[in-house]
């Protein structure tokens, strides 16, 4: 997890039988202020099947709401607080 002043870490425990980690960006993207770009996703399931959400270069992946557990890594360009 990134913060303006540095990086923080945490542990995440889960009971997933299957999981995947994938990049959601496969070409150069121009950032727009206050619009999130989703870089990567970790998702998992405690069932015997795992569907893969699809994304168009940084958009919120379609089908992500159907995933049992997910972590999305994103970046947002914002104005610095004064």
* pLDDT (tens digit per residue) in 9-34: 777 777 888 888 888 898 898 999 99
Domain count, the chain: 1
Q: Has residue 2 been placed in a domain?
A: no
Our measurement of the distance from residue 76's CA atom to the centroid of its chain's CA atoms, rounded to an integer in Å, reads 12
Q: Has residue 9 been placed in a domain?
A: no
Q: What's the whole-model pTM score?
A: 0.74
Query: What is the per-residue burial (b if ≥16 Cβ within 10 Å, else e) of 31-64?
Result: eeeeeebbeebbbbbeeeeeeebebeebebbeeb
Q: State the average pLDDT over residues 40-66.
A: 83
Q: Has residue 12 been placed in a domain?
A: no
Residue 18: what pLDDT? 86
Q: Has residue 11 been placed in a domain?
A: no
Q: Has residue 7 been placed in a domain?
A: no
Instruction: For residue 54, report the phi and psi dihedrals to the nearest 5 degrees.
Output: -110, 150
Domain that holds residue 31: 17-77
Q: Has residue 67 been placed in a domain?
A: yes
Written as one string, the DSSP assignment of 22-33 is: EES--S-----T
Q: Has residue 24 been placed in a domain?
A: yes
């Amino acid at each position: 997890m990134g913060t303006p002043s540095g990086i923080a870490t945490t542990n995440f425990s889960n009971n997933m039988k299957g999981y995947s980690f994938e990049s959601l960006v496969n070409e150069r993207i121009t950032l727009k202020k206050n619009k999130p770009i989703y870089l990567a996703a970790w998702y998992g399931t405690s069932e015997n099947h795992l569907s893969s959400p699809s994304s168009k270069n940084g958009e919120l992946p379609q089908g992500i709401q159907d995933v049992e557990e997910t972590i999305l890594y994103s970046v947002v360009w914002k104005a610095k607080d004064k």
